[in-house]
Every structure is written in C-alpha cells, then in structure tokens.
Structure 1
Amino acid sequence: HAGHLVALLAARRAVRPAVREQGLRAAAPLAVYASTQTHAWLHKAVDIAGLGLQAVRWIPTDAEQRLDVGALAASIEADLAAGVQPLMAVGTAGTVSTGAIDPLPAMAALCSRHGLWFHVDGAYGAPAACLGEDAPADLPGLREADSLALDPHKWLYAPIEAGCVLVRDPRHLLDAFSQRPPYYGAPRVDEGLNFHELGPQNTRGFRALKVWLALRMPAATATGR
C-alpha cells in the first residue's frame, strides 16, 4: 500500500503545486477516480493524504468487471462543472477479485486530455506485461502511466513485505518529498541517489535486497555464475 500512497502524494503535488506550503484547504476540492473493483488501499491512501473518502469517485464496470471509460469521462466532466479539480485516475492491471484489467490505453488518453495523473495498480498483474504478444491486449497500456505500483511478493515470489512504485518522471518525487535541512549537508556534485528524498521515510531498511537476490538467482543459474 505504501507505493500507492507515494504515487498519490506525488500526484497531489504535481497537480496542485502549492500543496506543500499551503495545504489543501485554500483551493477547490480534489477528486480521485477508480472502478468499484479497485483494491481497498485507495481508502487508506486518500484518508492519509487528507483528501477524505468522499474524494473518491467509484466508477462502474462493464460485464467483464473493467472500468467503464464512458462513465469515467462523464464523472470528470461533472466534477469540472461543479468546481472540483480532478486529481488522479486509477487503472487496475489485475483486480483482486477476478483478475480483470481495466482499459488502460483509453484511460491514459482520457487522463492526458484532462490533465489527470494516471496511476496503475499493477500489484497483481503488472509482471504479466513481460509476456509481450501473449499478454492481455490492454496490459501494455501500463507504459502510459504516470506511476505504477506492483508487489514483488506476489508474482515475483519475494518475501513479504516488498512493494515497488515506478514513476515516469522522478522529479515529481523530489517535488513531493525532498527536504534539505542544514544537518543533511550541502549536496555534492558526485552525490548518489538519496532515497529519503523520494518518499516519506527518512530512515529506511534495505527491503530491496531480497528482491534483488531473488532476481539474481535465475540470472546466475542461467550463466553458471
């Protein structure tokens, strides 16, 4: 769930740049759009982000449990007319209940047209994109996402917990989370990647090690090293 929250906070900052200094109270309310089949992480994320549960617009699904893009478009238009600012649309790449994949390319195009952040919940199904032509038709659409969350402790068989969020433009993470107090020292030209600037945690464990080792094992077996 942490990866989704990071993406939502980055989106909040990207869509409403003054949020870090002014908070949410001085501007129009924000709306987040997701199908009725979306995982419950969204409840916690909008709550923690200060948007409130009423910010979520639950979009109906079609007969295959996929988000109805027409209903999404209508909901966005209704919010714009009411003075509500659309923030993020969530597409799911493999729902928990049925494994349904939302029409990701159509959602991406709609988000681009209206200036929404497009987030994909790929916790369950995103790794299937590596199947190439054998992958479901809409799954490659996750490449259009502004952010993608996946759980290596599912299809990649990493021990719990192992969450991952990928963001198209890492500058959005810096904008949302970076701080430079004097006791961190001035940045150096040769300074490496500082993960405390890319998320809410300052001190963090090396959770990525178990994922890296799991990925290295088949590679080492294949090469005999």
Structure 2
Amino acid sequence: MAMEFREKDLDLQNIIADEVNKYLKRDLGTMSATKRAPQELIDKYEKMSVPQKGRDIYEIMNELDNEILEYIHRNNHPRSFSFIPGPGSRLSWLGDILTTANNIHASNFKNATLPISIERNLINYFAEKLGYKIKPAGGVFVSGGSMANLTAVVTARDEKIATKELYKGTVYISDQVHHSLSKAFHIAGIPKENVRRIPVDREFKMNVDELSAVIKKDIEADMKPVMVVGTAGTTNTGTVDDIEGITAVCEAHDLWLHIDGAYGLSHLLSTKGRDLFPGIEHADSVSWDAHKLLFQTYSCAMVIVKDKQHLLNSFSEQAEYLDDIQSDDDVIDPEMIGMELTRPARAVKLWITLQVLGEEQFRERIDYGQHLAEYTEECVEEMENWQVISRPSLSILSFKYVQPNLNETENNKILSNAAGRMASSGYAVTYTTELNGQKVIRMCTINPETTKEDITGTLARLDEFVKDELESL
C-alpha cells in the first residue's frame, strides 16, 4: 500500500504558477546586478538545522524570494559586464523546467530516445559550423567548458601517449588560457612541471614561433609532446589564437590540437562566422559553451571531436546491468563517449531556443554584442584620462583610467576601488583584470537586452567613482 506523503497536501500547483509568473514579470534592469549577503544571513543558513517536522512552505518561499535568491550575482542582468555573462533566454529556462519536471535520464537512447536524437542532431549541426564532416565527427553535451576541456585532454592523452610514458608527457598552452585547463591536466595525470606556458604577442595571441621552439627543445630532451591548446576567444580579451599557425606546428610533430572555444565559437553563428576563426576545421577537438553566447541557462556545453572514435576509445565501458538498454549499430549512447552516466537532457533547451528563434535571430543577437563593444570603445575614447587597452574582439574590450600626475600603483588602486564601488552600488558589474601587468576594466557586452543607455550610464558612474577616489587621496 502506497504511503501518503506530505508533499501531496501542499498547494504546489498554485505556488509553482505564482513563482513562474513572478519570474516572467520581473524587470532585471531595476534589480541589483550583484548583491552581497550580510553576515547574519550567512550565519543563519550555514547553521540552520533540518527540522523534525516540516515547516510551512510559504515561509520557505518567503526566505527564498527575499533572502536566498536576493543576494546573488545576476549573470543575466543587462549591466552584468564581468566574466562572461550568462544571458539565458526564457526559452532555455522553459526547456529547463520541462526536462527537469520529467526527470529525464539522458544516458542512452532507450531511456530518452528523442532527447538524445536532438542531442545528436545539434552536435552534427555545430560540427558542420566548424567545418567537420558529420561522419566521423561526434561529440557530447556536458556541464560546461571545464568538463569539455577535461574530456578533450583525456581523449588526447589516450591517443597520443602510452600510460607508461605519461611522466614524460608535455602539453602547451598560452598564458591567456582558461584556468580549467590546468585542472584538466592535473586530473589527466600530466605532471604540473610538464605544462608549458607559451607567451603571447602584442595582440595576446600565442606566440607560434616560441611554441615551435619549446616543442623542439622538449623533443631534444627526450620528452613526449602530447597536445597544444589554443583559444578561440580568450576570457580576458576575446583574442583568437593563430589556429592555422598552431596547426602547422601540431602537424609537424603529430600533436593533438584542442581549441578552447567555450566562449568564442558561438560567433560562428554571427555575420562574420568562420572568417573569425581561420583554420578551426583543423582542430582535433573543441569545447563550446551554450550557456554563454547561445543564451542558455546553466549548464549547457559541448565537446566536439573530428573523429568520435577517439571518444569511444577513452570512455566506452561495458556494464552488465546496462545490457538491456545499450544501443548498437551507428547509434552511440552519450554515456559511451563521455564521463557521465547520470546526465540531464541538456540539448533539449538549446533545441527549443534554436527552433523558436532561428539562425537569423541568433546572428542578430551575436552581432549586436560586438556592436555594443565597439560603441563602448567610442565612448571611452571620448572620456578624459581613459585609455582603451584591448580593442573590441568577440564583444570583449578593456580600458583603464590613467591620471598623469599619479604613478601606476596609485592609478591601479583608484581603478580597483572604483570597480568595487560599482559592484557595491548594484547598478552594474565591471570588475578588473590584468593585462601585461596593467590593471584594467574589462567589459563583455553580449546581453541582447543591454541598451546603449546601459553602457553610457555604466561608464558615467565609473568616471564618477574614479573622481571620488581621486579626491580621497
């Protein structure tokens, strides 16, 4: 006899409907872009015990609405310009609701036939954008760029070096590469001292001549070069490495070429498309985040390889309890080409968004982000004592304040304090980063709901905060 649990007695239908309506009606632009929780609330939730008898659900919802979800960094805010914003579409959110409500276990075709058919379809779609052949190309949806990079690193390791020689394995990255690669190398067993950081040129691109020289030196020292990781859209500057130049080096020494395109590769859907990434078709693997510039909610990303057999070589395992549901022939279950067995149907929400909006709308949105970055550059160039440090590239630019009468340390402190005051104000998020030892404001303008007024309002406030800091010296 089934037990009657308390959940059935709750007015969940109305509560869910109310929360959905509340979300749809909110105006993010009037909310704080970021808000820090006071210590008393941190203490409250870190020390809160689990009750023996359940509490009133409306009391819980009040805590969620007014406390827990109030003090967060809103990546989808129109004036959230730091990191890589996550301007998730409401269509993606709808997909999240539906796939979560159905509790889909998207590991194999027999569990989730059509959701996985959609995943295969989208992997093929994006593989074609890269210039890969549908067969033998392949890939799998993963949680994010970190997991995509790890999957690619493990695949490259298994293809290019014997386990017994792993202690000699060397890998090559630029000093602008995403930090997730360091984690991936560590997990994959590449010794930390074997990770070669190649300097970048004046455009923040990996120095290909230096790369070639370091690889040759390693070979002479009886090391075993494994792979090179280039970047298609660095986090700091939106720079695209010289993929064709790196390809030539990899081909000369039989190395795996992985391109971390977690952020940048979505620009393949822009007007300029593949012209932004010459040589991308030569990469053995790429990482590509949909929860950035494909406007998906967290988390939704892909790793795509030129030959899916390499993924099978690394991740295909036999489990007796799965015998009845494993597929055969040309139908490869996602759990056979990636780390996860338990996995949500991440591709469905992206499919919904692409089907409803279409390529044209995506192209317009991505182009708009670059236009906003160029507009920001124009505004900064008209501001007194402000300098553009890295020009707009893939919707990212950086700039700094330079008071001629102050030294670099003093100017850096003023800029950092101004960025902190901006975040504390809640109006916008414009944190600093470092380029060639310089402290700079970095802005990423990819939210399609951001207006030019958001840009000018943010820059005006930054200028005001800087001037306030000057007066306090």
* TM-score, normalization by structure 2: 0.43
Runs ≥4 in structure 1, deviation > 6 angstroms?
none
**Please, which of 332, 336, 346 is the counterpart of residue 197 of structure 1?**
336
Question: Is the 1:177–1:197 contact (alpha carbons within 8 Å) kept by the matching residues of 2?
Answer: yes
Question: Is the 2:257–2:283 contact (alpha carbons within 8 Å) kept by the matching residues of 1?
Answer: yes
**Please, which of 12, 15, 18 is the counterpart of residue 157 of structure 2?**
12
- Report whether the alignment pairs 1:151 with 2:299: no
- Report whether the alignment pairs 1:70 with 2:198: no
> Which moved further from structure 2: 149-158 or 201-210?
201-210
Partner-residue secondary structure (3-state), 2:286: strand
Distance 1:4 1:179 in 2: 21
**Please, which of 120, 127, 139 is the counterpart of residue 277 of structure 2?**
139
- Report whether the alignment pairs 1:128 with 2:267: yes
Distance 1:221 1:100 in 2: 25
The Cα of 1:221 is off from its aligned counterpart by 10
- Report whether the alignment pairs 1:170 with 2:315: no
**Please, which of 233, 236, 250 is the counterpart of residue 94 of structure 1?**
233
Deviation track 1:149-177 (CA, whole Å, cap 9, x = no partner) reads 01111111100111111100000000001
Partner-residue secondary structure (3-state), 2:293: coil
- Report whether the alignment pairs 1:181 with 2:319: yes
Gaps of 5+ in 1: 19-23
Gap change, CA 1:67 and 1:219, over 3 Å in 2: same
Partner-residue secondary structure (3-state), 2:172: strand
Gap change, CA 1:190 and 1:84, over 3 Å in 2: closer
Q: Give the match for residue 102 of structure 2.
A: none
Distance 1:169 1:190 in 2: 17
Gap change, CA 1:138 and 1:57, over 3 Å in 2: farther
Distance 1:7 1:192 in 2: 21
Deviation track 1:174-197 (CA, whole Å, cap 9, x = no partner) reads 000111233332866557321111
Q: CA RMSD in A?
A: 2.2
Deviation track 1:17-57 (CA, whole Å, cap 9, x = no partner) reads x5xxxxx3455511110110001011110111111322210
The Cα of 1:207 is off from its aligned counterpart by 1.6
Larger radius of gyration: 2
Q: Give the match for residue 54 of structure 1.
A: 193
Question: Is the 1:111–1:117 contact (alpha carbons within 8 Å) kept by the matching residues of 2?
Answer: yes
Distance 1:113 1:220 in 2: 37
Distance 2:347 2:246 in 1: 31
Question: Is the 1:124–1:155 contact (alpha carbons within 8 Å) kept by the matching residues of 2?
Answer: yes
1:36-55 counterparts in 2 under 5 A?
A: 36-55=175-194
The count of aligned residue pairs is: 215
Distance 1:148 1:188 in 2: 26
The Cα of 1:128 is off from its aligned counterpart by 1.6
Partner-residue secondary structure (3-state), 1:175: helix
Partner-residue secondary structure (3-state), 1:5: helix
Distance 1:202 1:189 in 2: 17
Gap change, CA 1:79 and 1:162, over 3 Å in 2: same
Distance 2:330 2:222 in 1: 44
Gap change, CA 1:103 and 1:179, over 3 Å in 2: same
Partner-residue secondary structure (3-state), 1:140: coil
**Please, which of 169, 188, 205 is the counterpart of residue 30 of structure 1?**
169
Distance 1:216 1:2 in 2: 26
Partner-residue secondary structure (3-state), 1:80: helix
